[in-house]
Amino acid sequence: TDPSGTVTITDNDPVTVTIGDVTVDEGDGTATVPVSIDVPSSVDTVVDIVTTTGTAGTADYTTTTTTVTIPAGSTSVDVSIPITD
């Protein structure tokens, strides 16, 4: 008989996603927002981002819904959010 075997471990550890805070002037045209995960993954990590009203009113930015892909092995990408003056 064959005394060896194969064990496959599925990586199911949770990933923490962080969307950074940024401050920009209205005239800048875009806000570049960092999106990161705490540990690199062996597969692409896909994050859906939706802008909401906070300190800026809806007249100050373009409502944006976007899907961001952090490539396998990476931990962050930047997302551009259009803003208006």
Mean pLDDT of 62-73: 90
Query: How far is it, in rounded angstroms, from Cα 70 to Cα 85?
Result: 30
pTM comes to: 0.75
Confidence of residue 62 (pLDDT cuts 50, 70, 90): confident
pLDDT digits (tens, 9 = 90+) for 25-55: 888 888 899 999 999 988 899 999 888 877 7
Query: How far is it, in rounded angstroms, from Cα 76 to Cα 40?
Result: 9
Query: How far is it, in rounded angstroms, from Cα 85 to Cα 61?
Result: 8
Express as a percent the part of the chain with pLDDT over 90.
40
Q: What's the pLDDT at 8?
A: 77
